[in-house]
Amino acid sequence: MAKSATLAVKDGKIRSSINALLADLLSKQVVEAVLVPLAHPAGNNVVQSLVTNPDYLEQADVFAPVMPVNAGRIIQAMTRLTPANKKTAVVMRPCELRALVELVKLRQAQLDNLYLIGIDCPGAYSVSDYPKYAAEKTSDDFVKAAWNGKDDPMLRAGCQVCEYPVPLMTDLTIGSVGQDLKKQLLLLASTEKGEELLEGLGLTAEEDSQAAAQRHTAVDQLLNKIKETREKFFEQTREEIGGADKLATVFGPCIKCQNCRVACPVCYCRECFFVSPTFELEAEKYLGAAEKRGAMRMPTDTLLFHLTRMTHMAASCIGCGACEEACPNAIPLLKIFQLTGTNVQKLFDYIPGRSLEDELPPTAFKEDELEWIGEK
């Protein structure tokens, strides 16, 4: 069992207690930078920011229920070519961490010098819904309400059916599930790096603490509940989009803007095949094809685009829902990708983002897998 310490919630204020902890990391020179969402001065959004001056951390808001960008993408941008040269703590949601793990396996990001701090995630609203909420309530209100067990129909579709609201791979977890949030949060170190953070902060870590056990039980309950929700969700999705006809209908509104691809944290190609010269055709080709068919839908290949993306992403889809959030025409991309992704992942016994040791299905050769293929 991992070592853990507690973080006292001062005056019942969760956000400022966490922010003080993060500021400590900088001022005690445990790390030299922190990547964390800061509240936008306008109050209508939060923005992932790389902070070196502890004063800025007063504006940090890790539980603010909005995720404009999956931070896996940000780490990718930072470390694809060279790893971080300074010790940097990154505070991320579980789906962001899972995206990061997939990106590391795909050599698109490097973990050297990074200290991964994960939070138990109560979910987020769409960027467009967030200002309304922020005008009335705080992130403290949000997190307390969420762990009280009430369903929140305002949450993004992805968050409502999220399979892993707690981090799978992290150095340090800021645990809020199963804790008396008026008093304390749990700081759970699951690696040596995590312990290094606790030590640097001057916190005494203990093995098998009662708080950790409480969280463990609460997490189990939470996951069980989610399992039921997901099953219903899949059943419903199958009805909505099952079969070629329905699939064509679902993708009908697509304008091939490719926002979904840009927003997806795991879609990692440097230059998408669909914007490559292969798809730059001469008028002759278009007109030839149109002549053959009598009519040719433009832009072309919208369905091919989505199916190709699905082929590439199914095994690594972490279900963050960024694609659906990015779609201007409300195509239920999360539903489609989660249903397919979960089935594909089951097939290969693969959980994306769980561990760096799990081999990516396209690269793992097993002599005896999928033997049923070709059976009558």
How many C-beta atoms lie closer than 10 Å to residue 143's C-beta? 25
How distant is the alpha carbon of residue 180 from its chain centre?
26
CA distance 314 to 332: 15
Cα distance between residue 206 and residue 188, in whole Å: 10
Residue bearing tokens 């902070």: 51
Minimum distance from residue 314 beta carbon to another protein (Å)? 11
* Interface mask toward another protein for 235-254; x: CB under 8 A: --------------------
Binding residue (CB under 8 A) for another protein from 107, 136, 224, 357: 107
The nearer residue to another protein, 228 or 284, going by C-beta atoms, is 284
User: Pairing state of beta strands 33-39 and 88-92?
Assistant: parallel
| Interface segment toward another protein; rule CB under 8 A; list 169-177, 324-332, 342-350, 360-368 | 360-368
Query: What is the spatial distance between Cα 134 and Cα 301, in angstroms, rounded to a whole number?
Result: 40
8 vs 275 by CB, closer to another protein: 275
CB of 158 to another protein, least distance (A): 22
376 binds another protein (CB under 8 A): no
Tell me the HSE value of 14 on the side-chain side, using a 13 A CA sphere. Answer: 23
Q: Find the binder of another protein among 273, 291, 299, 328 (CB under 8 A).
A: 273
Rounded to an integer, what distance in angstroms lies between the CA atom of residue 145 and that of residue 115?
A: 29
Please report, as residue ranges, which positions from 108 to 147 form the binding site for another protein (by CB under 8 A).
108
Structure tokens at 240: 């909505």
Positive or negative, the CA dihedral 17, 23, 29, 33 is positive
Least distance (Å) from another protein to the CB of residue 355? 17
In this chain, which of 29, 228, 278, 376 binds another protein, going by CB under 8 A? 278
Closest alpha carbon to 169 in 117, 112, 205: 117
To the nearest 10 degrees (0 to 180), the angle between helices 333-347 and 302-313 is 40
Strands, DSSP E only, in the chain?
Answer: 3-8, 33-39, 46-51, 88-92, 114-119, 172-175, 184-189, 206-207
Based on CB atoms, which residue is closest to another protein, 214 or 258? 258
- Site mask for another protein (CB under 8 A), range 67-86, x = bound: --------------x-----
**Selected binder of another protein within 312, 319, 345, 352 (CB under 8 A):** 312
Does the footprint of another protein cover residue 271 (CB under 8 A)?
Answer: yes
Kindly indicate which of the ranges 87-95, 135-143, 282-290, 327-335 contains the residues binding another protein, using the contact rule CB under 8 A. 282-290
Cβ at position 49, least distance to another protein in Å: 27
Distances (CA, A) of 205 to 9, 26, 48, 119, 187: 17, 20, 29, 18, 9
By the rule CB under 8 A, 307 interacts with another protein: no
**Which residue, 52 or 276, has its beta carbon nearer to another protein?**
276
270 binds another protein (CB under 8 A): yes
> Smallest distance from the beta carbon of 9 to another protein, in angstroms?
42
Alpha helices by DSSP H, listed for 32-174, are: 71-79, 94-105, 130-136, 139-147, 157-160
Our CB check for another protein shows the closer of 127 and 310 to be 310
Judged by CB under 8 A, does residue 360 bind another protein? yes
Give whichever of 252 and 273 is closer to another protein, judged by the CB atom: 273
Binding footprint of another protein on the chain (CB under 8 A): 81, 106-108, 268-273, 276, 278, 285, 288-289, 292, 312, 360, 362-363
